Amino acid sequence: MSLYEKNRPRRSFAHTLLRWLLIIGGVAIFAIGWQVTEINFKDLITGFDDVQPLLNSLLHPEFVTRETTDYTSTSLVQIPCTDNPPPQTKPNPDGYMELSSTCASRGETITVHGLNYPPRTQVILSLAAVDNPRRDRLAVVLTDVDGEFTTELTIPADFTYKSEGLAHRLTSEYEIESGPLQISETTKVVVGLMIQTVLLALMATIFAIVFAIPFSFLGARNLMTRSRFGTVIYYIVRFIMNLTRAIEPLIWAIIFAVWVGIGPFAGVLALTVHSVAALGKLYSEQIEGIENGPLEAITATGASGGQRIIYGVVPQIVAPFIAFTLYRWDINVRMSTVIGLVGGGGIGFVLIQWINLLQYEKAAVAVWAIAIVVSIMDYSSAIIRERLI
């Protein structure tokens, strides 16, 4: 036996038992988490075909466009089935659909086989009742190199019509581009809304600074805990900032969208409230980390509380405050795209609409614009912060 083994401290039974209990507990928590979150890597692989049209649209955003010609093909689907279902659609050189069944009930699934479509073309499939103007968009499919596609469509359970047994219209739509390239209307809309998004974040940051600076001094331990009254104020301000910061901007956006109406003003208010708490915390921590030497020297001269802050604190915090503010503006630009999803204005408002309408090429323009603007702001603010701090 080596000298190390002789002198090595022996672990007690309790220590060994505790270690194994922690290992077993960790494995159990992981197993429970696996089940609760319904992790299934098989779906990740088998569902790839379903997401291909979306990925194709994201890789082909509608930045520029040409004049387009629309092509439409219609097949009849009887809902529900009767003894006399409609016939299959006749072949069409511009595209047509063959159905596994030309009749179905609500909630039933039919297989659609498309033929004679242009290769690698996005086709929109929708269902419209002959006696109801509402149109249900069921799927967006991508044709293969032979101009064909096969997909399964489920008749919506809430599909409404006035009369039983009518033949309703299952429509396929696609566009063929022609003519010179030009900036798309989508790009023009996105540019305008991205400017609104950046300015929305800027206004929220400016308003937040006005309230965050006084809150930061009231929430700084080294300045406020010199008296009992100051200590009470310190804890109250800290509690308010922590509570406000704990509520996500998305929740604030919903509150203000109801309060002042849907639009960018609701987004400004939501980001302002959250930014006041976030900046107040960053500012106060910076104040708490200042050098006490200058502050003590000014205090020794008999300076008042205001003079101690102006001459002992402010010179040490100006540069970090500017850096934190730029960083918060950067964060607010990213947050403003999210709060727009619930009516807070900016690019997020139209992004969620395009996604709901399955207009992924238009949504892709917004996604790429967000990525570009956020990257530029992140890079620029990082350089400025590096020079300031």
243 token code pair:
């509570």
CB 95 within 8 A of CB 71: yes
pLDDT confidence tier of residue 6, bands split at 50, 70 and 90:
low
Q: Which pLDDT does position 292 carry in this prediction?
A: 74
Q: Which residue has the higher pLDDT, 81 or 343?
A: 81
Helix (H) or strand (E) holding 246: helix 228-246
User: 221 φ, ψ to 5°?
Assistant: -60, -40
Residue range 362-376: average pLDDT? 90
SS3 content of the chain, % helix, strand, coil (to 5): 60, 15, 25
User: 67 φ, ψ to 5°?
Assistant: -65, 140
CA-wise closest residue to 205 among 286, 281, 275: 275
Residues ≥6 apart with Cβ < 8 Å to 388: 319, 320, 322, 323
Fold assignment, 62-183: Immunoglobulin-like (2.60.40)
Q: Which pLDDT does position 3 carry in this prediction?
A: 52
Global model pTM greater than 0.75: no
Burial class from Cβ neighbours inside 10 Å (0-12, 13-18, 19+) for residue 240 reads middle
Report the Cα 108 to chain-centroid distance in Å: 33
- Winning range, highest mean pLDDT, from 2-6, 71-75, 347-351: 71-75
Q: Which pLDDT does position 324 carry in this prediction?
A: 87
Give me the amino acid identity at 357: L
CB 154 within 8 A of CB 45: no
Q: Which pLDDT does position 187 carry in this prediction?
A: 93
Side-chain half-sphere CA neighbours of 308 within 13 A: 20
pLDDT in tens, 216-236: 888 888 778 878 888 899 999
Q: Which pLDDT does position 126 carry in this prediction?
A: 93
103 token code pair:
């009749």
CA-wise closest residue to 234 among 223, 222, 218, 245: 218
pLDDT in tens, 323-338: 888 889 989 988 888 8
Residues ≥6 apart with Cβ < 8 Å to 357: 137
179 token code pair:
């003519």
Answer yes or no: CATH 3.90.1260.10 is held by domain 186-388: no
DSSP string, 257-278: HHHH-SSHHHHHHHHHHHHHHH
Q: Which residue has the higher pLDDT, 319 or 306?
A: 319
Q: What is the mean pLDDT of the chain?
A: 86
Q: Which pLDDT does position 368 carry in this prediction?
A: 92
pLDDT in tens, 248-305: 898 999 999 899 988 899 999 999 999 999 999 988 888 888 777 777 777 777 777 6
Report whether pLDDT(96) > 60.
Answer: yes
Report whether pLDDT(389) > 70.
Answer: no
The domain limits of the chain are: 62-183, 186-388
pLDDT > 90 in the chain, percent = 38
User: 372 φ, ψ to 5°?
Assistant: -65, -50
Q: Which pLDDT does position 5 carry in this prediction?
A: 54
Q: Which pLDDT does position 316 carry in this prediction?
A: 78
CB 153 within 8 A of CB 112: yes
pLDDT confidence tier of residue 44, bands split at 50, 70 and 90:
confident
Q: If DSSP codes are grouped into helix, strand and coil, which group holds residue 44?
A: helix
Q: Do 62-183 and 186-388 come out as alike in CATH topology?
A: no
Q: Which pLDDT does position 33 carry in this prediction?
A: 93
pLDDT confidence tier of residue 102, bands split at 50, 70 and 90:
very high
Q: At what angle do helices 314-339 and 264-288 cross, to 10 degrees?
A: 150
Q: Can you say whether residue 315 is alpha, beta or left, with left for phi > 0 and alpha for psi between -120 and 50 degrees?
A: alpha
State how far the alpha carbon of 353 is from the alpha carbons of 202, 286, 363, in Å: 24, 42, 9
